[in-house]
Structure formats: structure tokens, C-alpha cells
């Protein structure tokens, strides 16, 4: 290696492309582990996550309880395994709520143009410039805590990136030969938007989803930590960290185990998102 970088390394860094694939593989594997854990929780968990054993309170990690037990004598490993369920459920709910809304607004704005576009994008920008967690907290405090309300509250500020991306992609498509051909066949209006533009916007939306999921998981865990998410005794990572924070200095494992799970889940989606984005080479425009 000389003092200066070789041209090849600057223009197309081959090792980086290889690393992108590794990023995607590692991320995908972690996500798969997460999903399988959630699905197979009853098989994987050594104990009932809600079974309280008062004599076994706050036990340190051991062969019987790998992650130790919490203040009610519940096995933390089992609770961490079951905790994958509300997290993934919440995340899926948010995606089901945000992707259609984002795509609809983005494609309409890009396709129709003019004043419709300006108004829709202004609304998108308004929602984009609102703080995610604080708005969700305010909303949940009024609607009441819970899984569905948490998902609604987080979805409210999570759709704008999808809309922006869909609009950008629709704009790029508007002058394509492909759409001109479809128009010449007499296809127009809604059928053109949803039959021909929408499928081409989906890959971008998937990448965008993977990229936002890491942050959404953190916000959801934050809601749980502040007692505004899924209510106890359901095992949920954020509220488990909150329970553990009371005994943080003496029984550190109670907070450490679920917090590590949140890190794992967020990391899994962030890696997948990075890998997918580089793979599909969609430009990150927000």
C-alpha cells in the first residue's frame, strides 16, 4: 500500500461491495433468529414467562436460570424470549399502518403533481419534522397505553419517509418508456398508479422499512420503558428494563438481559437495512 489510495479503491471499492453482502447476511440471520424466537417461544423458553416463584427472587444467572430471575422470581431468559413477540407484533403493526399510507400519499403526489403534490408533500414535511417519541408519548397518554395505541402513536410520525421515497421514485418513473407504453395501451388513472407504479416502488419501501425499523424498535422500547407500551405482566423488553432499573446496582442482570435483547433486535434490523440499501442501491434521500 503506497501513501496514496489507488484509483480502483476509490471508484469501486471491491472489498466494500463484498462487505455489503456480509452485512446483509449477518443482518438477515439475526432477523431470522429474532422471528424464529418469537414464533417458537413456547418451545424455546425453559419456564413459563409469567410463573412467579417468590422463593427464587432476584437469583443471579446460573445453570438453571441462564439470565437469572427478576423481582417476582420469574425466569428472565423465558421472559426475554417471549418479549420478542410484542416487539415484533408492534413493528409489524406499524409497518402495516405506515407503508400503505406512505405509498399512497407519495405515489399520488408524484403522479398527480401540481397543487396536490405541494399540499401532500407539505403535510409530509410537517409530520417528518415532529419528534417521534415525544409525539407518541403525548398521544398514548391520552389514548391510554397498550400495544395497539403504541403502534398507532409511533405510526403517526413514521410514515413520511415512505411517502418521500415513493414520490421521488414516481417522479423518476413519470417519463419512463415503460409508463408511456402502458399509457398507450389506454391504461391510466388509478390502474396506472397501483398496477404499474406501485410495484416498482415496493422494493424501495422495503429497504426504507428495514432502515427505519431499528429506530422504531428503540422508540417502542422507550415507550415500554416509560410504562406507556404493553402493560405488565406481559413480558416486554422496555418495561422489563424499567423493572430492572429499580435493582440496577445490586441485581444488574434484571435490566441487562432485556436491554441486550433490544440492542440485538435493533442491530439486526439496522444491519439488514444497510445491507439491503447498498444491495439495491437506492439513494438515501432523507
Partner 1 sequence: MANSATQAGLARQFWRGGSRLITSLLSLLVTLLGLLAFTFMLSHQSPVDPVLQVAGDRASESTYQQVRHDLGLDQPLPVQFWRYLEHLARGDLGMSHITAQPVTSDLARAFPATLELATCAMIFGAVFGITLALLAAWKPGGLLDNLARLISLLGYSVPVFWLGLLGLLLFYAVLHWSAGPGRLDDIWIYTLEPKTGLVLVDSWLSGDREMFRNAIAHLWLPVAVLGMLSMAAITRLLRAALLEENGKEYVTLARAKGASRTRILLCHIFPNVRGTLITVLGLSYATLLEGSVLTETVFAWPGVGRYLTTALFASDVPAILGSTLLIGGCFVLLNALVDALTWLTDPRTR
* 48 forms part of the interface with partner 1 (CB under 8 A): no
Q: How far is CA 42 from CA 38, 211, 272, in A?
A: 9, 29, 26
* β-strand partners of 75: 69
Q: Which of 169, 163, 162, 135 is nearest to 149 (CA)?
A: 135
Q: How far is CA 190 from CA 104, 111, 112, 162, in A?
A: 11, 10, 11, 19
- Candidate residues 222, 230, 236, 272; the one interacting with partner 1 per rule CB under 8 A: 222
Distance in Å, CB of 113 to partner 1, minimum: 18
Q: Give the long-range contacts of residues 251-260, CB within 8 A, separation 24 or more.
A: 251/58, 251/60, 251/68, 253/60, 253/61, 253/67, 253/68, 253/76, 254/58, 254/68, 254/70, 254/71, 254/76, 257/67, 257/68, 257/76, 257/77, 257/80, 258/76, 258/79, 258/80, 258/83
Distance in Å, CB of 192 to partner 1, minimum: 30
DSSP secondary structure of 186-209:
T--HHHIIIIIIHHHHHHHHHHHH
Rg (CA), the chain: 23
Distance in Å, CB of 34 to partner 1, minimum: 13
* 131 forms part of the interface with partner 1 (CB under 8 A): yes
- Candidate residues 108, 270, 272, 282; the one interacting with partner 1 per rule CB under 8 A: 270
Q: How many residues bind partner 1 (CB under 8 A)?
A: 53
Distance in Å, CB of 46 to partner 1, minimum: 24
Report the distance separating Cα 271 and Cα 183, nearest Å.
39
Q: Which is nearer to partner 1, 16 or 191 (CB)?
A: 16
Distance in Å, CB of 110 to partner 1, minimum: 19
**Quick one: which segment of 6-14, 52-60, 61-69, 189-197 binds partner 1 (CB under 8 A)?**
6-14
Binders of partner 1 among residues 200 to 219 (CB under 8 A) are 214-215, 218
CB 217: neighbour CB atoms within 10 A?
A: 28
- Candidate residues 77, 91, 201, 241; the one interacting with partner 1 per rule CB under 8 A: 241
* β-strand partners of 69: 75
* 125 forms part of the interface with partner 1 (CB under 8 A): yes
Q: Which is nearer to partner 1, 154 or 201 (CB)?
A: 154
* 132 forms part of the interface with partner 1 (CB under 8 A): yes
* 139 forms part of the interface with partner 1 (CB under 8 A): yes
Residue labelled with grid coordinates 444491519: 271
Can you say whether the dihedral through the CA atoms of 80, 132, 128, 278 is positive or negative?
negative
* 22 forms part of the interface with partner 1 (CB under 8 A): no
Distance in Å, CB of 23 to partner 1, minimum: 9
Question: Which residues are at the interface with partner 1 (CB under 8 A)?
Answer: 3-5, 7, 9-11, 13, 15-16, 122, 125-126, 129-135, 137-139, 141-144, 214-215, 218, 221-222, 225-228, 238, 241, 244-245, 248-249, 252, 255-256, 259, 262-263, 266-267, 270-271, 274
Amino acid at each position: 500500500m503506497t501513501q496514496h489510495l489507488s484509483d480502483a479503491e476509490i471508484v469501486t471499492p471491491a472489498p466494500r461491495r463484498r462487505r455489503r453482502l456480509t452485512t446483509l447476511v449477518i443482518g438477515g440471520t439475526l432477523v431470522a433468529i429474532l422471528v424464529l424466537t418469537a414464533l417458537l417461544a413456547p418451545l424455546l423458553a425453559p419456564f413459563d414467562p409469567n410463573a412467579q416463584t417468590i422463593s427464587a427472587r432476584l437469583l443471579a444467572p446460573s445453570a438453571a436460570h441462564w439470565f437469572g430471575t427478576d423481582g417476582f422470581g420469574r425466569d428472565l431468559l423465558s421472559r426475554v424470549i417471549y418479549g420478542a413477540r410484542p416487539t415484533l407484533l408492534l413493528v409489524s403493526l406499524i409497518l402495516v399502518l405506515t407503508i400503505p399510507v406512505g405509498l399512497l400519499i407519495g405515489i399520488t403526489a408524484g403522479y398527480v403533481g401540481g397543487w396536490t403534490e405541494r399540499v401532500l408533500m407539505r403535510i409530509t414535511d410537517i409530520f417528518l419534522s415532529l419528534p417521534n417519541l415525544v409525539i407518541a408519548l403525548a398521544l398514548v397518554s391520552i389514548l391510554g397505553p397498550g400495544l395497539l395505541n403504541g403502534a398507532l402513536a409511533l405510526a403517526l410520525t413514521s410514515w413520511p419517509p415512505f411517502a418521500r421515497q415513493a414520490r421521488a421514485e414516481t417522479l423518476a418513473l413519470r417519463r419512463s418508456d415503460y409508463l408511456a407504453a402502458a399509457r398507450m395501451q389506454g391504461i391510466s388513472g388509478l390502474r396506472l398508479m397501483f398496477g404499474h407504479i406501485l410495484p416498482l416502488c415496493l422494493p424501495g419501501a422495503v429497504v426504507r422499512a428495514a432502515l427505519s425499523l431499528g429506530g422504531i424498535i428503540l422508540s417502542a422500547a422507550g415507550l415500554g420503558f416509560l410504562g406507556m407500551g404493553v402493560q405488565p405482566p406481559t413480558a416486554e423488553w422496555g418495561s422489563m428494563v424499567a423493572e430492572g432499573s429499580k435493582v440496577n446496582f445490586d441485581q444488574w442482570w434484571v435490566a441487562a438481559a432485556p436491554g441486550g435483547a433490544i440492542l440485538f433486535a435493533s442491530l439486526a434490523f439496522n444491519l439488514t437495512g444497510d445491507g439491503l440499501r447498498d444491495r439495491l442501491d437506492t439513494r438515501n434521500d432523507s
